[in-house]
Amino acid sequence: MAALAEMRLEEINAKEDLSLRLGDALDVKASIGLALLLFLATQSAYFFDKGLSYWGHYMQIASVLCISAAIALAICELWPRKFMLPEPESPVVNRRIEQLRQHFKNFPVEHPDVEASVKNSLIEDELRWTRDRIVDNQKTNKRKSDYLNWSFWLTIPAIAMNLLTVFALIK
């Protein structure tokens, strides 16, 4: 029983690590997207300075609106959030160990090895606590992913409009 519980704990801890890494990966993608958006914004400013036709002018206004919204969404994705992490030394765990010891001492027939029973119960508690942290962190990652997704879909039309403006400027 203990070996299986320990294996499950290792597996769920690896999943927790992956959920934290996903948040970091989303931040990297948002940062790359911001660099692209800043390039597009600079390009649009250049186009306005260059002088545009009637359609080119309105195309760049639409592009700037998309770029502005995409930048705002990317910043929302990057906004610092609190991820649920295990505490290195938690008084909750120490209290829980004492509670379990007291509980199992009251049942010597069912639990002759109190420390083994405490260990097994504590592993089950840690599994539950880790699952709860993963659920909370995945909710945070889902919001971050949604912001990044919307930012991406607003960047695509801005790229297309800037490319069309480049083609229109070629003489």
pLDDT in tens, 22-77: 999 999 999 999 999 999 999 999 999 988 889 999 999 999 999 999 999 999 99
User: Which residues are CB-neighbours of 56 under 8 A, at least 6 positions away?
Assistant: 47, 165, 168, 169
Helix/strand/coil percent split, the chain, to 5 = 85, 0, 15
> Nearest to residue 42, comparing CAs of 151, 162, 127?
162
Question: Has this prediction a pTM greater than 0.85?
Answer: no
Measured between alpha carbons, how far is 43 from 50 in angstroms, rounded to an integer? 10
Measured between alpha carbons, how far is 162 from 51 in angstroms, rounded to an integer? 14
